Structure 1
Amino acid sequence: MKGLSTPLNSTAILPSPVLLWRFKVLLFILWGFSCCKVSFHALLILHIGWDSVMRMNTDLRDLFLYEAFLYYNPLLLVTMMVWLWGICLWVFSQANVGYAKIFDLDPNHLTQREIWKCATWMTIIVPTSMTAYLYLYSHGEVLLAAFQPILLYAAVAMILIFPFDIFYLSSRYYLLRTIWRIVFPLQAITFADFFLADIFTSMSKVFSDLERSVCRMVHRQVATVAWFEADSVCGSHSVAIPIVLVLPYIFRLFQCLRQYKDSGERTTLLNALKYSTAVPVIFLSALKYHVFPNKWTDIYRPLWLLSAILNSLYSFYWDITRDWDLSCFTRVFKFSRPHFLSHLLYGRTWVYFWVIGSNLILRCTWTYKLSAHLRHNYITVFAITALEMLRRFQWIFFRVENEWNKMNSKSNIQLSMLDIPNEEEKLLNSNSHNV
């Protein structure tokens, strides 16, 4: 019996390094096979989609490409954001940033691997549905084509609100609860509340396209030419468009007012002022379709341009001076283990020049995607919105690191405050011994 507990025997039951190496090679081969399968599936989807587009009538091709873009571009951008969020979690885990503590996540929160798994399924399902829509319509199956985006939107909604313990119930509940707190800021605002609300401001164009898509589905305008009427209920001149665009900024504005009520800090009022500057940009742009052309040219366009410049510069200033802490080289890219990415980014001066310069440029292009009278080319709008997602993606690293540094400094102050009584007790004890 004693022999069974010796270190020699305990190590003997472990698998040999050769077996471990072979097992890792097998896992790598399986992973590569799955990636090739997904890539082949994506190429097949692209081929079928392109062939379906070429089958369409030339006059209607651009119109229905735009409609397909309208239905599927929001979900494609959401998929992109899920991929980027998985990258953020991977970087935080490599840099030992306690993001679970920052966002108040439960122990069973999704890791970057599970986030990427969800993003992979979204990357397969959304383009497949879009390809089916184009394929069925080009072959004359208009009714079946119209059902493709409807089924996709219904499936996404059902997965989000599914009440049973599958599809990551706790994470879905956490997301829906946070969204509820954003829409109705009746409680103290947490970091997760305003962090997600800030991300929603970058996705305001996504929400606007979602509203137009659902509107067409409700009014049975999918795969029809009725949607092309600009002044229709769901047209490009609809009053609902600027309202949906401005809602994320209104929600963030109310959060700042709630923070001022709870804390009394005047900086929250200045932050609220920043979000209020987005309102005139959106509504002045929408006025072009509701006023006479000469009135727009002489009065409203100069006001729109002035408000756009003010909002861009104010938002840029707030990012640099308030949301980020650029007083020292960022530690978020200092990984616990040697890594090429950490060597490339940690302590590099060019990272700061890139972040500040790109943030300024993309803050200015923000007006393009939110201003209705500038949105003529849907491909350009998609590219600008995707760039805004990337701007928000790099914003996340510095914003989370700034919050992590604040939490660490607070904990250090609390520990030092606890150490003060101990020093006083030592002093009293020494004096009593001397007496």
Structure 2
Amino acid sequence: MMTRRYLLFFTTILLLSKVYAQRQQNVLELTPEQIEAIFIKQNLDLIAEKMNVSIADAAIAQARLWENPSLQIDGVNLWSTNAQRGGEREVIPPLFGSFARNTQFSAELSQLVSLSGKRSKLIGMEKVSKEIAMAQFEDVLRGLKAELRKSVCEMIYLSSYRKVLETQSQSLSLLIDTYTKQVAQGNLAKNELLRLQAALFEVENELNEIQSALNGQQKNIKALLNAEPFVVIEILDGARRIPNPEHYVLADLTTSAMNARPDVTKSKLQTEYYGKSLKYENSQRVPDVTFGVNYDRRGGVWHDFVGFSMGMDIPLFNRNQGNIKAAKLSISQSSYQAQKQQNLVQQEVVEAYHNYAIAYGFYKKIDNNPLIGELDSMLEVYAHNLIDKNISMLEYIDFMDTYKSTKQTWLTAQKNVSVQFEELQYTVGTKIK
């Protein structure tokens, strides 16, 4: 009986140790740079979008191909009668062996030849399509990268704010332990203990809300990284780059955006595509020529006739007028859209720059305040003063609210300046040095 108990005990310990080890293994500590590197390799949207470039390569290869030759066999008699054979006498000898005995047929081999450089013009269109696919991939990468970076900033903020609430929770828990003993001894009234417990409940409730928000950010980041659902990602927050906006010239940023933004490139390429489309549609006015060679066995004057043929459409009614007009209109339309996109990009850069300047100014104002670094030590001092009756419960609770709101404002300013900097980089379309 004792042996079975010992066995059950050790088995339970072993299972618990395995669960603990699994939990430890599922925690993945990553820097923002490591997160971005994993994102580049594993994001499913990027993998799928990159396939469009390969699809465009396949379209270019297809455009290079010649039309297949055409073989047509016609007028084959599947059987022959005595009347056709002139009684029992054989009329048509076989071609070889017994093949095609008493059989009449004709065959034609033809090849379509495109004129006016249609193939080369089609290849040119497909090459521009590939460039558009590459610009589209860069645009998707730019958007997803900005989304990832903002999620990382949000997760850093939530983790930091959670530590603030945990500090408050620990301070209140210690006070509650002390006050519980004092109430039991009859030295304090219960209402003060209830006030501390109510404050703790508020902090713990906010902690739960923060954890729910963290879970949401965990979901977003793991989806972007294509990570396992049971992995817990913890971000190692190092020194963040927060450059002074005065170091940048707004005109230079807008110029960089015009050169770097993939959506601007894509809009320009769209106009180029329709220009090549117009050339291709103009070439369609010239009809293609079909060359052929045909063989007719016993179907005419000659027993074995070999002839040559050439055919082409006569451009009498359809000279591709509609498609040419549509291509011209598409060029004008895409030119207006490209101009609109450029104007929009410039406006976005100006807006993002000013928003970053505002966020940076507010962040530096708070960050330079020496009292921010003293808040944690002041919290301990207020707790000890409350125990020693040097301050009232109202003064302590008031400071707790001030402590939390000040810390939250400071962390929010940190988050906002980082998010606005990422937004500025997103609108410029490249990494700002």
TM-score, scaled to structure 1? 0.24
The higher radius of gyration belongs to 2
Kindly indicate which of the two structures has a greater share of residues assigned to helix. 1
Which protein has greater RCO, CA pairs closer than 8 Å, 6+ apart? 2
In terms of fraction of residues, the more strand-rich structure is 2
